[in-house]
Protein backbone atom coordinates (compact mmCIF):
# COMPACT_ATOMS: atom_id res chain seq x y z
CA UNK A 1 0.00 0.00 0.00
CA UNK A 2 1.27 3.50 -0.84
CA UNK A 3 1.77 6.25 1.71
CA UNK A 4 -1.53 8.05 2.35
CA UNK A 5 -1.41 11.84 2.60
CA UNK A 6 -4.19 14.15 3.77
CA UNK A 7 -5.45 17.40 2.24
CA UNK A 8 -6.06 19.93 5.04
CA UNK A 9 -9.26 21.96 5.07
CA UNK A 10 -7.57 25.17 3.90
CA UNK A 11 -6.20 23.43 0.78
CA UNK A 12 -9.47 21.83 -0.30
CA UNK A 13 -11.10 23.42 -3.38
CA UNK A 14 -14.69 23.32 -4.61
CA UNK A 15 -14.94 20.82 -7.48
CA UNK A 16 -11.96 18.78 -6.30
CA UNK A 17 -12.44 15.06 -7.00
CA UNK A 18 -10.98 11.70 -6.06
CA UNK A 19 -11.77 8.39 -7.73
CA UNK A 20 -10.97 4.77 -6.90
CA UNK A 21 -11.67 1.64 -8.95
CA UNK A 22 -12.31 -1.51 -6.93
CA UNK A 23 -13.07 -5.12 -7.90
CA UNK A 24 -15.80 -6.68 -5.78
CA UNK A 25 -14.38 -10.07 -4.83
CA UNK A 26 -16.15 -13.01 -3.25
CA UNK A 27 -13.69 -12.69 -0.35
CA UNK A 28 -14.92 -9.13 0.28
CA UNK A 29 -18.45 -10.40 0.84
CA UNK A 30 -17.27 -13.01 3.34
CA UNK A 31 -15.14 -10.47 5.24
CA UNK A 32 -18.08 -8.04 5.41
CA UNK A 33 -20.44 -10.79 6.57
CA UNK A 34 -18.12 -11.61 9.47
CA UNK A 35 -17.36 -7.99 10.35
CA UNK A 36 -20.99 -6.85 10.27
CA UNK A 37 -22.68 -10.03 11.45
CA UNK A 38 -24.98 -9.83 8.41
CA UNK A 39 -25.22 -13.42 7.16
CA UNK A 40 -28.05 -12.78 4.72
CA UNK A 41 -27.53 -15.51 2.07
CA UNK A 42 -28.33 -12.99 -0.67
CA UNK A 43 -24.86 -11.59 0.00
CA UNK A 44 -22.89 -14.85 0.31
CA UNK A 45 -21.14 -15.95 -2.89
CA UNK A 46 -22.17 -19.60 -2.98
CA UNK A 47 -25.66 -19.40 -1.45
CA UNK A 48 -29.08 -19.27 -3.11
CA UNK A 49 -30.75 -16.54 -1.09
CA UNK A 50 -34.07 -16.33 -2.93
CA UNK A 51 -34.63 -19.96 -3.90
CA UNK A 52 -34.30 -19.49 -7.64
CA UNK A 53 -31.61 -22.15 -7.97
CA UNK A 54 -28.68 -19.77 -8.45
CA UNK A 55 -26.34 -17.95 -6.10
CA UNK A 56 -26.94 -14.19 -6.07
CA UNK A 57 -23.71 -12.85 -4.48
CA UNK A 58 -25.20 -9.35 -4.22
CA UNK A 59 -22.80 -6.85 -2.68
CA UNK A 60 -24.38 -5.46 0.53
CA UNK A 61 -25.37 -1.82 0.24
CA UNK A 62 -23.47 -1.03 3.43
CA UNK A 63 -20.32 -2.52 1.88
CA UNK A 64 -20.75 -0.19 -1.11
CA UNK A 65 -21.13 2.71 1.31
CA UNK A 66 -17.89 1.59 2.98
CA UNK A 67 -16.09 2.00 -0.36
CA UNK A 68 -17.04 5.70 -0.26
CA UNK A 69 -15.65 5.88 3.26
CA UNK A 70 -12.40 4.44 1.91
CA UNK A 71 -12.01 7.24 -0.63
CA UNK A 72 -12.79 9.92 1.96
CA UNK A 73 -10.40 8.45 4.51
CA UNK A 74 -7.56 7.68 2.11
CA UNK A 75 -7.63 10.47 -0.48
CA UNK A 76 -10.10 13.34 -0.14
CA UNK A 77 -9.71 14.77 2.43
CA UNK A 78 -7.61 11.74 3.51
CA UNK A 79 -6.12 10.63 6.86
CA UNK A 80 -7.64 12.50 9.79
CA UNK A 81 -11.09 12.82 8.19
CA UNK A 82 -14.18 12.04 10.30
CA UNK A 83 -17.68 11.34 9.00
CA UNK A 84 -20.55 13.57 10.10
CA UNK A 85 -23.27 12.11 7.88
CA UNK A 86 -23.89 10.20 4.65
CA UNK A 87 -27.07 9.83 2.64
CA UNK A 88 -27.31 7.39 -0.25
CA UNK A 89 -29.87 6.28 -2.79
CA UNK A 90 -29.18 2.82 -4.23
CA UNK A 91 -30.23 2.77 -7.87
CA UNK A 92 -28.63 -0.54 -8.88
CA UNK A 93 -26.92 -3.64 -7.55
CA UNK A 94 -23.35 -4.85 -7.62
CA UNK A 95 -22.23 -8.47 -7.52
CA UNK A 96 -19.07 -10.42 -6.83
CA UNK A 97 -16.89 -10.04 -9.92
CA UNK A 98 -18.04 -6.50 -10.75
CA UNK A 99 -15.57 -3.65 -11.02
CA UNK A 100 -16.87 -0.55 -9.26
CA UNK A 101 -15.79 3.08 -9.66
CA UNK A 102 -16.18 5.28 -6.58
CA UNK A 103 -16.05 9.07 -6.96
CA UNK A 104 -16.28 11.87 -4.40
CA UNK A 105 -16.42 15.57 -5.35
CA UNK A 106 -16.28 18.63 -3.11
CA UNK A 107 -19.43 20.73 -3.50
CA UNK A 108 -19.26 23.03 -0.45
CA UNK A 109 -16.90 24.16 2.32
CA UNK A 110 -18.62 24.96 5.60
CA UNK A 111 -17.49 26.51 8.91
CA UNK A 112 -15.59 24.48 11.50
CA UNK A 113 -13.62 22.54 8.86
CA UNK A 114 -16.74 20.82 7.58
CA UNK A 115 -16.92 19.74 3.94
CA UNK A 116 -19.89 18.60 1.86
CA UNK A 117 -19.13 16.14 -0.97
CA UNK A 118 -21.16 14.48 -3.71
CA UNK A 119 -20.63 10.71 -3.69
CA UNK A 120 -21.28 8.22 -6.46
CA UNK A 121 -20.61 4.54 -7.17
CA UNK A 122 -20.85 3.12 -10.70
CA UNK A 123 -20.72 -0.50 -11.83
CA UNK A 124 -20.77 -2.37 -15.15
CA UNK A 125 -24.50 -1.71 -15.54
CA UNK A 126 -24.40 1.97 -14.64
CA UNK A 127 -24.97 3.88 -11.44
CA UNK A 128 -25.23 1.80 -8.26
CA UNK A 129 -25.46 4.51 -5.60
CA UNK A 130 -25.52 8.31 -5.34
CA UNK A 131 -25.66 10.70 -2.41
CA UNK A 132 -23.87 13.25 -0.24
CA UNK A 133 -21.36 13.03 2.59
CA UNK A 134 -20.60 15.57 5.30
CA UNK A 135 -17.17 15.23 6.91
CA UNK A 136 -14.80 17.08 9.17
CA UNK A 137 -11.55 17.59 7.29
CA UNK A 138 -8.13 17.54 8.97
CA UNK A 139 -6.69 20.94 9.88
CA UNK A 140 -3.13 20.04 8.92
CA UNK A 141 -1.36 17.81 6.39
CA UNK A 142 -0.31 14.38 7.59
CA UNK A 143 0.84 11.07 6.16
CA UNK A 144 0.16 7.47 7.08
CA UNK A 145 1.92 4.28 6.00
CA UNK A 146 -0.83 1.73 5.37
CA UNK A 147 1.69 -1.09 5.15
CA UNK A 148 1.58 -1.37 8.94
CA UNK A 149 -2.09 -2.41 8.95
CA UNK A 150 -2.39 -6.20 9.50
CA UNK A 151 -3.64 -8.14 6.50
CA UNK A 152 -6.58 -10.54 6.33
CA UNK A 153 -6.72 -14.03 4.90
CA UNK A 154 -10.10 -15.50 4.02
CA UNK A 155 -10.25 -19.27 4.40
CA UNK A 156 -11.32 -20.24 0.91
CA UNK A 157 -9.92 -22.69 -1.58
CA UNK A 158 -10.57 -21.26 -5.01
CA UNK A 159 -7.53 -23.03 -6.46
CA UNK A 160 -9.02 -26.43 -5.63
CA UNK A 161 -12.39 -25.27 -6.98
CA UNK A 162 -10.66 -24.52 -10.29
CA UNK A 163 -8.99 -27.96 -10.27
CA UNK A 164 -12.34 -29.65 -9.70
CA UNK A 165 -13.98 -27.68 -12.48
CA UNK A 166 -11.17 -28.66 -14.85
CA UNK A 167 -11.26 -32.34 -13.88
CA UNK A 168 -15.05 -32.61 -14.12
CA UNK A 169 -14.79 -31.85 -17.84
CA UNK A 170 -12.69 -35.00 -18.36
CA UNK A 171 -14.17 -38.48 -18.83
CA UNK A 172 -14.37 -40.27 -15.44
CA UNK A 173 -11.15 -42.20 -14.85
CA UNK A 174 -11.64 -45.96 -14.22
CA UNK A 175 -10.12 -46.52 -10.78
CA UNK A 176 -9.39 -49.63 -8.73
CA UNK A 177 -10.34 -48.84 -5.13
CA UNK A 178 -8.72 -51.24 -2.66
CA UNK A 179 -10.65 -52.22 0.49
CA UNK A 180 -13.21 -49.40 0.76
CA UNK A 181 -14.56 -51.23 3.80
CA UNK A 182 -15.31 -48.35 6.17
CA UNK A 183 -17.57 -45.32 5.61
CA UNK A 184 -14.57 -42.94 5.46
CA UNK A 185 -12.70 -45.06 2.94
CA UNK A 186 -15.78 -45.64 0.83
CA UNK A 187 -17.01 -42.04 0.71
CA UNK A 188 -13.84 -40.71 -0.91
CA UNK A 189 -14.53 -42.91 -3.92
CA UNK A 190 -18.26 -42.14 -3.88
CA UNK A 191 -17.57 -38.40 -3.89
CA UNK A 192 -15.20 -38.85 -6.80
CA UNK A 193 -17.86 -40.81 -8.68
CA UNK A 194 -20.63 -38.31 -7.94
CA UNK A 195 -18.48 -35.49 -9.33
CA UNK A 196 -17.65 -37.57 -12.45
CA UNK A 197 -13.95 -37.62 -11.54
CA UNK A 198 -13.53 -41.39 -11.26
CA UNK A 199 -15.42 -44.53 -12.23
CA UNK A 200 -14.65 -46.85 -9.28
CA UNK A 201 -14.25 -50.60 -9.13
CA UNK A 202 -14.30 -51.81 -5.52
CA UNK A 203 -11.87 -54.58 -4.64
CA UNK A 204 -12.22 -55.99 -1.13
CA UNK A 205 -14.57 -57.80 1.23
CA UNK A 206 -17.98 -57.36 -0.38
CA UNK A 207 -19.91 -57.80 2.89
CA UNK A 208 -17.85 -55.09 4.59
CA UNK A 209 -18.15 -52.77 1.57
CA UNK A 210 -21.95 -53.09 1.53
CA UNK A 211 -22.14 -52.59 5.29
CA UNK A 212 -19.99 -49.45 5.01
CA UNK A 213 -22.24 -48.12 2.24
CA UNK A 214 -25.34 -48.75 4.33
CA UNK A 215 -23.79 -47.02 7.36
CA UNK A 216 -22.79 -44.03 5.23
CA UNK A 217 -26.12 -43.90 3.41
CA UNK A 218 -24.28 -44.20 0.10
CA UNK A 219 -25.80 -45.62 -3.08
CA UNK A 220 -23.33 -48.04 -4.66
CA UNK A 221 -25.75 -49.35 -7.26
CA UNK A 222 -23.92 -50.06 -10.50
CA UNK A 223 -20.43 -50.16 -8.97
CA UNK A 224 -18.62 -53.41 -9.66
CA UNK A 225 -17.40 -55.19 -6.52
CA UNK A 226 -14.60 -57.77 -6.71
CA UNK A 227 -14.98 -59.83 -3.54
CA UNK A 228 -11.50 -60.45 -2.06
CA UNK A 229 -11.42 -60.26 1.76
CA UNK A 230 -7.62 -60.45 2.14
CA UNK A 231 -6.06 -57.00 1.79
CA UNK A 232 -2.80 -58.09 0.19
CA UNK A 233 -4.67 -60.20 -2.33
CA UNK A 234 -7.12 -57.35 -2.97
CA UNK A 235 -4.24 -54.96 -3.68
CA UNK A 236 -2.69 -57.41 -6.13
CA UNK A 237 -6.02 -57.88 -7.91
CA UNK A 238 -6.56 -54.12 -8.10
CA UNK A 239 -3.16 -53.74 -9.78
CA UNK A 240 -4.02 -56.58 -12.16
CA UNK A 241 -7.14 -54.67 -13.24
CA UNK A 242 -4.83 -51.89 -14.40
CA UNK A 243 -2.71 -54.31 -16.46
CA UNK A 244 -5.93 -55.69 -17.96
CA UNK A 245 -6.85 -52.17 -19.12
CA UNK A 246 -9.93 -52.01 -16.91
CA UNK A 247 -8.56 -49.29 -14.62
CA UNK A 248 -6.18 -46.35 -15.07
CA UNK A 249 -5.66 -45.35 -11.45
CA UNK A 250 -5.37 -46.93 -8.02
CA UNK A 251 -7.01 -45.65 -4.84
CA UNK A 252 -6.24 -46.60 -1.24
CA UNK A 253 -9.12 -47.62 0.98
CA UNK A 254 -9.03 -49.09 4.50
CA UNK A 255 -5.74 -50.96 4.38
CA UNK A 256 -2.16 -50.28 5.40
CA UNK A 257 -0.21 -48.20 2.90
CA UNK A 258 2.62 -50.75 2.83
CA UNK A 259 0.17 -53.45 1.72
CA UNK A 260 -0.91 -51.29 -1.19
CA UNK A 261 2.64 -50.31 -2.12
CA UNK A 262 3.79 -53.95 -1.95
CA UNK A 263 1.48 -54.65 -4.89
CA UNK A 264 2.57 -51.48 -6.70
CA UNK A 265 6.28 -52.22 -6.34
CA UNK A 266 6.34 -55.94 -7.21
CA UNK A 267 8.96 -56.62 -9.87
CA UNK A 268 6.59 -58.95 -11.67
CA UNK A 269 3.06 -57.69 -12.17
CA UNK A 270 3.53 -54.41 -10.28
CA UNK A 271 3.41 -50.84 -11.52
CA UNK A 272 7.11 -49.95 -11.39
CA UNK A 273 8.69 -47.49 -13.79
CA UNK A 274 12.28 -46.40 -14.21
CA UNK A 275 12.25 -44.17 -11.13
CA UNK A 276 11.41 -44.29 -7.45
CA UNK A 277 7.85 -43.62 -6.37
CA UNK A 278 7.15 -40.67 -4.09
CA UNK A 279 4.21 -38.90 -2.50
CA UNK A 280 3.22 -35.34 -3.38
CA UNK A 281 0.85 -33.14 -1.40
CA UNK A 282 -0.90 -30.59 -3.60
CA UNK A 283 -1.95 -27.78 -1.27
CA UNK A 284 -4.36 -24.88 -1.58
CA UNK A 285 -3.04 -22.48 1.07
CA UNK A 286 -5.23 -19.44 1.91
CA UNK A 287 -3.43 -16.26 0.92
CA UNK A 288 -1.48 -17.87 -1.94
CA UNK A 289 -2.50 -17.38 -5.55
CA UNK A 290 -0.77 -20.57 -6.73
CA UNK A 291 -0.86 -24.20 -5.67
CA UNK A 292 1.91 -25.34 -3.33
CA UNK A 293 3.46 -28.81 -3.65
CA UNK A 294 5.12 -30.55 -0.68
CA UNK A 295 7.15 -33.72 -1.15
CA UNK A 296 7.94 -36.39 0.07
CA UNK A 297 5.77 -36.56 3.16
CA UNK A 298 4.51 -40.14 3.17
CA UNK A 299 6.71 -42.78 1.51
CA UNK A 300 10.49 -42.28 1.44
CA UNK A 301 11.64 -42.00 5.05
CA UNK A 302 15.27 -40.96 4.59
CA UNK A 303 15.81 -40.56 0.83
CA UNK A 304 19.33 -40.64 -0.55
CA UNK A 305 20.43 -38.42 -3.41
CA UNK A 306 19.35 -40.86 -6.10
CA UNK A 307 15.89 -41.09 -4.54
CA UNK A 308 15.65 -37.31 -4.26
CA UNK A 309 16.22 -36.99 -8.00
CA UNK A 310 13.05 -39.04 -8.54
CA UNK A 311 11.19 -37.10 -5.85
CA UNK A 312 12.01 -33.80 -7.55
CA UNK A 313 11.20 -35.03 -11.06
CA UNK A 314 7.91 -36.61 -9.94
CA UNK A 315 6.80 -33.34 -8.36
CA UNK A 316 7.76 -31.32 -11.43
CA UNK A 317 5.83 -33.69 -13.68
CA UNK A 318 2.72 -33.33 -11.53
CA UNK A 319 2.99 -29.54 -11.35
CA UNK A 320 3.33 -29.32 -15.13
CA UNK A 321 0.26 -31.52 -15.60
CA UNK A 322 -1.73 -29.24 -13.27
CA UNK A 323 -0.85 -26.17 -15.31
CA UNK A 324 2.16 -24.70 -13.48
CA UNK A 325 4.49 -23.45 -16.20
CA UNK A 326 8.16 -24.02 -15.34
CA UNK A 327 7.60 -24.94 -11.68
CA UNK A 328 10.05 -23.44 -9.19
CA UNK A 329 11.49 -26.11 -6.90
CA UNK A 330 12.98 -25.21 -3.53
CA UNK A 331 15.19 -27.88 -1.97
CA UNK A 332 14.75 -27.32 1.77
CA UNK A 333 17.18 -27.53 4.63
CA UNK A 334 17.66 -25.73 7.94
CA UNK A 335 19.91 -23.13 6.31
CA UNK A 336 20.38 -21.61 2.87
CA UNK A 337 24.14 -22.07 2.66
CA UNK A 338 26.00 -25.23 1.70
CA UNK A 339 27.27 -26.59 5.01
CA UNK A 340 29.22 -29.89 5.03
CA UNK A 341 28.02 -30.71 8.53
CA UNK A 342 24.38 -30.64 7.28
CA UNK A 343 24.14 -33.36 4.61
CA UNK A 344 20.81 -32.12 3.22
CA UNK A 345 22.50 -28.91 2.08
CA UNK A 346 24.98 -30.94 0.02
CA UNK A 347 22.13 -32.90 -1.60
CA UNK A 348 20.35 -29.62 -2.34
CA UNK A 349 23.37 -28.13 -4.07
CA UNK A 350 23.90 -31.27 -6.15
CA UNK A 351 20.22 -31.40 -7.18
CA UNK A 352 20.40 -27.76 -8.26
CA UNK A 353 23.46 -28.44 -10.40
CA UNK A 354 21.84 -31.58 -11.88
CA UNK A 355 18.90 -29.45 -13.00
CA UNK A 356 21.33 -26.94 -14.53
CA UNK A 357 22.90 -29.83 -16.49
CA UNK A 358 19.55 -31.19 -17.73
CA UNK A 359 19.50 -34.27 -15.49
CA UNK A 360 16.29 -32.95 -13.94
CA UNK A 361 13.94 -31.34 -16.45
CA UNK A 362 10.84 -29.18 -16.67
CA UNK A 363 11.45 -26.87 -13.70
CA UNK A 364 13.83 -24.47 -12.02
CA UNK A 365 15.62 -26.04 -9.06
CA UNK A 366 17.48 -24.17 -6.32
CA UNK A 367 18.82 -25.06 -2.91
CA UNK A 368 19.59 -25.25 -0.20
CA UNK A 369 16.81 -22.92 0.93
CA UNK A 370 15.37 -22.50 4.39
CA UNK A 371 11.58 -22.54 4.64
CA UNK A 372 11.26 -18.78 5.08
CA UNK A 373 13.37 -17.74 2.12
CA UNK A 374 11.84 -20.43 -0.08
CA UNK A 375 8.33 -18.98 0.12
CA UNK A 376 8.70 -15.35 1.23
CA UNK A 377 10.29 -12.82 -1.16
CA UNK A 378 11.17 -10.40 1.63
CA UNK A 379 12.94 -13.13 3.60
CA UNK A 380 14.86 -14.07 0.45
CA UNK A 381 15.91 -10.45 -0.12
CA UNK A 382 17.01 -10.11 3.50
CA UNK A 383 19.31 -13.10 3.04
CA UNK A 384 20.64 -11.73 -0.24
CA UNK A 385 19.15 -14.57 -2.32
CA UNK A 386 18.52 -13.42 -5.87
CA UNK A 387 17.73 -16.62 -7.76
CA UNK A 388 14.51 -17.25 -9.66
CA UNK A 389 13.26 -19.75 -7.04
CA UNK A 390 14.05 -18.03 -3.74
CA UNK A 391 10.91 -16.56 -2.21
CA UNK A 392 8.70 -17.95 -4.99
CA UNK A 393 8.92 -21.74 -4.73
CA UNK A 394 5.99 -23.76 -6.07
CA UNK A 395 7.44 -27.09 -4.90
CA UNK A 396 9.00 -27.66 -1.49
CA UNK A 397 11.26 -30.71 -1.33
CA UNK A 398 11.79 -31.77 2.29
CA UNK A 399 15.07 -33.38 3.38
CA UNK A 400 13.20 -36.40 4.81
CA UNK A 401 9.72 -37.74 5.39
CA UNK A 402 9.40 -36.39 8.94
CA UNK A 403 10.09 -32.83 7.81
CA UNK A 404 7.76 -33.12 4.82
CA UNK A 405 4.96 -34.55 6.92
CA UNK A 406 5.32 -31.77 9.49
CA UNK A 407 5.26 -29.06 6.82
CA UNK A 408 2.11 -30.45 5.22
CA UNK A 409 0.25 -30.97 8.49
CA UNK A 410 1.24 -27.57 9.86
CA UNK A 411 -0.11 -25.94 6.71
CA UNK A 412 -3.30 -27.99 6.98
CA UNK A 413 -4.08 -27.59 10.67
CA UNK A 414 -2.56 -24.17 11.42
CA UNK A 415 -2.82 -22.31 8.10
CA UNK A 416 -6.14 -23.96 7.12
CA UNK A 417 -4.78 -25.31 3.84
CA UNK A 418 -6.53 -28.08 1.94
CA UNK A 419 -4.27 -30.93 0.86
CA UNK A 420 -4.71 -33.46 -1.93
CA UNK A 421 -2.40 -36.47 -1.95
CA UNK A 422 -1.15 -38.60 -4.83
CA UNK A 423 1.70 -41.07 -5.30
CA UNK A 424 3.83 -40.40 -8.35
CA UNK A 425 6.40 -42.46 -10.24
CA UNK A 426 4.24 -45.53 -10.89
CA UNK A 427 2.62 -46.45 -14.20
CA UNK A 428 -0.64 -44.83 -13.01
CA UNK A 429 -1.48 -42.24 -10.34
CA UNK A 430 -2.14 -43.68 -6.89
CA UNK A 431 -4.68 -41.76 -4.80
CA UNK A 432 -3.98 -41.63 -1.07
CA UNK A 433 -6.58 -40.11 1.23
CA UNK A 434 -6.62 -39.86 5.01
CA UNK A 435 -9.42 -40.35 7.51
CA UNK A 436 -8.76 -36.73 8.58
CA UNK A 437 -9.44 -35.42 5.06
CA UNK A 438 -12.60 -33.41 4.53
CA UNK A 439 -14.79 -33.59 1.45
CA UNK A 440 -12.84 -30.93 -0.47
CA UNK A 441 -9.52 -32.72 0.12
CA UNK A 442 -10.92 -36.09 -0.99
CA UNK A 443 -12.38 -34.57 -4.14
CA UNK A 444 -9.18 -32.69 -4.89
CA UNK A 445 -7.13 -35.90 -4.62
CA UNK A 446 -9.39 -37.52 -7.21
CA UNK A 447 -9.20 -34.40 -9.40
CA UNK A 448 -5.40 -34.26 -9.26
CA UNK A 449 -5.18 -37.93 -10.21
CA UNK A 450 -7.69 -37.51 -13.03
CA UNK A 451 -5.86 -34.53 -14.54
CA UNK A 452 -2.46 -36.22 -14.24
CA UNK A 453 -3.85 -39.49 -15.63
CA UNK A 454 -5.25 -37.63 -18.63
CA UNK A 455 -1.85 -36.03 -19.24
CA UNK A 456 -0.15 -39.45 -19.14
CA UNK A 457 -2.58 -40.76 -21.74
CA UNK A 458 -1.68 -38.00 -24.22
pLDDT tens digit sequence for 199-218: 999 999 999 999 999 999 99
Q: What pLDDT does 155 receive? A: 65
Rounded distance between C-alpha atoms, residue 322 and residue 282, angstroms: 10
Average pLDDT over residues 290-300: 95
Predicted confidence (pLDDT) at residue 416 exceeds the cutoff of 90: no
For the chain, what is the largest distance between any 2 Cα atoms, rounded to a whole number of angstroms?
A: 91
Regarding pTM above 0.75, the answer is yes
Is 314 exposed, middle or buried (CB count within 10 Å of its CB: 0-12, 13-18, 19+)? buried
Cis amide prior to 368 (ω within 30 degrees): yes
Q: What pLDDT does 289 receive? A: 86
Question: Which value, to the nearest 10 degrees, does the dihedral of the CA atoms of residues 60, 65, 66, 68 take?
Answer: 140
Q: What pLDDT does 239 receive? A: 96
By C-alpha distance, which of 30, 21, 102, 89 is closest to 59? 30
Rounded distance between C-alpha atoms, residue 310 and residue 301, angstroms: 14
* Residues pairing with 72 in the sheet: none
Domains defined along the chain, listed by start: 3-148 (3.10.129.10), 158-457 (3.40.718.10)
Terminal CA-to-CA distance of the chain, rounded, Å?
Answer: 45
The model's confidence at residue 310, banded by pLDDT at 50, 70 and 90, is very high
What's the pLDDT tens digit per position in 326-380?
999 999 999 999 999 999 999 999 999 999 999 999 999 999 999 999 999 999 9
Question: Which value, to the nearest 10 degrees, does the dihedral of the CA atoms of residues 235, 238, 242, 247 take?
Answer: -140
The model's confidence at residue 2, banded by pLDDT at 50, 70 and 90, is confident
Average pLDDT over the chain reads: 93
Rounded distance between C-alpha atoms, residue 328 and residue 316, angstroms: 8
Q: What percent of the chain has pLDDT over 70?
A: 99
Q: What pLDDT does 78 receive? A: 95
What's the pLDDT tens digit per position in 426-446?
999 999 887 777 777 888 999
Amino acid sequence: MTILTSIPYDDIAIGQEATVTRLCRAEDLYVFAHASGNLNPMHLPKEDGDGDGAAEAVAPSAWIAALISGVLGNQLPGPGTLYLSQNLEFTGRAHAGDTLTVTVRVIEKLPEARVRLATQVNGPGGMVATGEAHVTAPDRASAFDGAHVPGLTVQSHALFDALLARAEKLPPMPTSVVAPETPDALMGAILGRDHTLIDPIFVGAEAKIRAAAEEAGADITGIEIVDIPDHRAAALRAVALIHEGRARALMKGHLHTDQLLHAVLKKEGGLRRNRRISHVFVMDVPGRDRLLFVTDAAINIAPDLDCKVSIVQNAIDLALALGIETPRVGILSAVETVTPSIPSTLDAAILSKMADRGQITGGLVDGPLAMDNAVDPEAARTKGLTGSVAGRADILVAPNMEAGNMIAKELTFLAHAEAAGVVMGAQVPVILTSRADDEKARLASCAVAAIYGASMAR
